[in-house]
């Protein structure tokens, strides 16, 4: 049986960043991941990094490629009434965001682990957590060769996402959730972005988002019905619908190109309270999900593990438990602020099935107020660039 101080389940941004922060403080950690390294390095997810996330990655020394290849953005557009209305993030807040794919952050963190010899085990199977309410929780699993292994830990960090094994291993958590009556059809296209910044579009046919991953690759989204099948969306239909929703009165031109990937993602809000059970701590999507409209998912995971890393250093090095005991409450304060922001952006920009003219006029009223009021625009900008860490 092997031993470590912190067993980390999941090699996404949360698990890898937590491991890196702990190793920097002299705390042993082992990361276990069910997928292959190739899979997690190519898994396309979030692309917007909040200001605090960018600053943290720079601070710990893993931000060099992000600064070289990422795309700093100082604003974004709300598009409605056939026109763009820019939210000037930097002018309003003094801060900016960085467009840099989650998979690129994962690549950077894996490379940093490799360079320092920190252990990450890929392609593990049959992961089971036990004794999480005791002093020595255990992780049983099969390694890449199928051999049974057991890892004894002082603490387990569940960073394995919404469908992982960690949250079901914590009995008594209270799930609080909401499902939305629509989904996002997301595409990755090999074509230069059609606009220098993100465009969030309110349209009577449904929401659309123009984003990007690089100067050569564009990320685009369409609101679709909740039960939509990707087979119903050939490439020509996708481009036609995007063109219709993103059209402006001044003749906006959408760049088209080969679609590299497309998928339909359901929309939900979910929070599990508390984010801790005994010696098992949940972080990131294992504990909470936000609609992607507010670009908060990965950034919340980063905020979680920043708090958790400090709590575990205090607990395991100094035998002080105050930060560990307050971990859940500390994180949930930020989580619920992000949940509200993401819900409000979603509600303001999406067309609900069966929505009547009253509801549509309320949405347009809110959009017009947001872009005409400095106070309203500043509030949106402050939340979007990321509230300061505690």
Say yes or no: 237 and 290 in one domain. Answer: no
Say yes or no: 102 and 245 in one domain. Answer: no
Q: Which residues contact 236 (CB under 8 A, 6 or more apart)?
A: none
Say yes or no: 309 and 361 in one domain. Answer: no
42 against 233, higher pLDDT = 233
Say yes or no: 295 and 257 in one domain. Answer: no
Say yes or no: 51 and 168 in one domain. Answer: yes
Residue 192: domain span: 180-267+353-385
Write down the pTM of the prediction.
0.95
- Can you give the C-alpha Rg of the chain in angstroms? 21
- Rounded to 5°, angle at Cα 264 from 261 and 268: 135
Q: In the predicted model, is pLDDT for residue 390 greater than 80? A: no
pLDDT digits (tens, 9 = 90+) for 184-234: 999 999 999 999 999 999 999 999 999 999 999 999 999 999 999 999 999
Say yes or no: 108 and 199 in one domain. Answer: no
Say yes or no: 252 and 275 in one domain. Answer: no
pLDDT digits (tens, 9 = 90+) for 350-380: 999 989 999 999 999 999 999 999 999 999 9
Q: In the predicted model, is pLDDT for residue 44 greater than 80? A: no
Cα distances from 378 to residues 86, 327, 347, in angstroms, run: 12, 29, 19
Q: Which residues contact 270 (CB under 8 A, 6 or more apart)?
A: 162, 175, 176, 177, 178, 288, 289
Q: Can you spell out the DSSP letters for 292-304?
A: GGG--HHHHHHHH
pLDDT digits (tens, 9 = 90+) for 51-80: 999 999 999 999 999 999 999 999 999 999
The CB density around residue 82, as the number of other CB atoms within 10 Å, is 11
Q: What is the CATH number of the domain that holds 334?
A: 3.50.50.60
Active-site residue set: 73, 200, 292, 296, 384
Say yes or no: 48 and 193 in one domain. Answer: no
Q: What is the CATH number of the domain that holds 197?
A: 3.30.9.10
- 245 neighbors 259 (Cβ within 8 angstroms): no
Say yes or no: 295 and 164 in one domain. Answer: yes
Residues of the chain with pLDDT > 90: what percent? 96
User: Which among 72, 33, 32, 31 is positioned nearest to 49, based on CA atoms?
Assistant: 72
Domains contained in the chain, number: 2
Q: Which uninterrupted H or E stretch holds 122?
A: none
Say yes or no: 199 and 339 in one domain. Answer: no
pLDDT of residue 47: 87
């Amino acid at each position: 049986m092997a031993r470590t101080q912190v067993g980390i389940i999941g090699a996404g941004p949360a698990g890898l960043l937590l491991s890196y922060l702990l190793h920097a403080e002299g705390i042993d950690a082992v990361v276990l991941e069910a997928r292959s390294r190739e899979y997690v390095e190519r898994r396309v997810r979030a692309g917007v990094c909040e200001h605090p996330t960018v600053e943290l990655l720079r601070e710990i020394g893993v931000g060099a490629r992000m600064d070289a290849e990422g795309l700093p953005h100082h604003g974004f557009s709300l598009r409605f009434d056939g026109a763009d209305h820019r939210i000037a993030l930097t002018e309003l807040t003094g801060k900016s965001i960085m467009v840099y794919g989650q998979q690129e952050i994962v690549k950077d963190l894996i490379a940093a682990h490799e360079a320092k010899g920190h252990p990450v085990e890929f392609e593990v199977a049959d992961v089971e957590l036990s004794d999480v309410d005791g002093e020595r929780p255990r992780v049983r699993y099969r390694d890449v060769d199928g051999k049974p292994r057991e890892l004894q830990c002082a603490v387990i960090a569940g960073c394995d996402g919404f469908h992982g094994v960690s949250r079901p291993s914590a009995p008594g958590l209270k799930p609080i959730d909401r499902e939305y009556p629509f989904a996002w059809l997301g595409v990755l296209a090999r074509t230069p972005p059609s606009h220098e910044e993100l465009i969030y579009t309110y349209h009577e046919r449904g929401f659309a988002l123009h984003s990007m991953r690089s100067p050569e690759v564009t990320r685009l989204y369409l609101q679709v019905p909740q039960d939509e099948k990707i087979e119903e969306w050939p490439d020509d239909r996708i481009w036609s619908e995007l063109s219709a929703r993103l059209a402006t009165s001044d003749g906006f031109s959408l760049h088209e190109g080969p679609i590299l990937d497309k998928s339909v993602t359901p929309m939900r809000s979910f929070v599990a309270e508390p984010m801790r059970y005994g010696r098992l701590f949940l972080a990131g999507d294992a504990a909470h999900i936000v609609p992607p409209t507010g670009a908060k998912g990965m950034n919340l995971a980063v905020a979680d593990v920043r708090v958790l890393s400090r709590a575990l250093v205090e607990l395991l090095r100094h035998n002080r438990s105050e930060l560990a005991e307050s971990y859940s409450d500390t994180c949930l304060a930020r989580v619920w602020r992000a949940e509200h922001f993401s819900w409000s952006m979603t509600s303001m920009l999406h067309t609900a099935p069966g929505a009547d003219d009253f509801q549509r006029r309320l949405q347009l009223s809110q959009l017009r107020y947001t872009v005409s009021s400095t106070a309203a625009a500043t509030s949106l900008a402050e939340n979007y660039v990321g509230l300061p860490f505690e």
